[in-house]
Amino acid sequence: MSDQKIDDLISIREAAHILGFRQSAPIANYISNKRLKTYSKPSSKRKWLSRAEVYSLPKISAVKQSSKELC
């Protein structure tokens, strides 16, 4: 992977934040379902994601209101 692409890699936690998730479990599901590909960096044991691939996924919608709030 080129240096430019290495600079474009983000952590799973950052990807969760970008997509509006409070935890990283949904990102792990995207990885296991092959909707996101993981990458590695030299001298790092962590899994990294492409920022462009994360931004290409649909974001979750705003928090839904409960039926009590609608009345």
pTM over 0.75: no
Query: Is the pLDDT higher at 59 or at 42?
Result: 42
Q: Sign of the CA dihedral 22, 28, 30, 31?
A: positive
At 7, the pLDDT band (50, 70, 90 cuts) reads: confident
Q: Which residues contact 38 (CB under 8 A, 6 or more apart)?
A: 31, 47, 48, 49
Instruction: Please give the structure tokens belonging to residue 49.
Output: 């994601």
At 64, the pLDDT band (50, 70, 90 cuts) reads: low
- At residue 33, what is the residue type? N
Mean pLDDT over 10-37 rounds to 95
At 60, the pLDDT band (50, 70, 90 cuts) reads: low
53 closest CA partner among 12, 25, 3:
12
